[in-house]
Amino acid sequence: MKRIAAAGLLALSSVLSCTLPALAGGSLWKCDLAPVNDKTAFFSGSLLILWDGARGEAWVSDPQITDISGDFVPVRLAVKDGVIGMRWKVRLAEHQGARTARFAYKAGFDATGKTITVTGWVDGWDYPPARTVSGPCAQL
């Protein structure tokens, strides 16, 4: 993962503080995602976001896939036109030389910073197609 220069971190932090005051300042958030069904197998219905506003960094964890990837996964953050975007990948464990699959995700918050929309897909595979879920987020 590329390191962001100190000036970039400060700029990102100030944009995040203005755009999403609920996430700035270091906190843990839980997002309840829906719809979760057999067509949205990339999601368990719950997403944890750990936000460090001072460093301008974030990590995510899906409690149902933690066993696959370890724990919290680092997130690439981007701000475009005042919208916060996040991207991350979760690698499935290899089993006896089988091809390793990665789930890829991108997410964005609404203007209030209290609702998230997440799209997930299997990185590098055409099937199953990408699926999108959304839901409210609350600070723990």
- Note the pLDDT tens digit of each residue in 48-63: 999 887 888 899 988 7
Sequential DSSP letters for 50-98 = EEETTTTEEEEE-TTTHHHH-S-EE-EEEEETTEEEEEEEEEPPP-TTP
Phi-psi label, residue 96: left if phi above 0, alpha if psi -120 to 50, beta otherwise:
left
Domain locations along the chain: 6-139
6-139: which CATH number, 2.40.50, 1.10.357, 2.40.160, 2.60.40?
Answer: 2.40.160
**Does residue 13 carry a pLDDT above 50?**
no
**Does residue 3 carry a pLDDT above 90?**
no
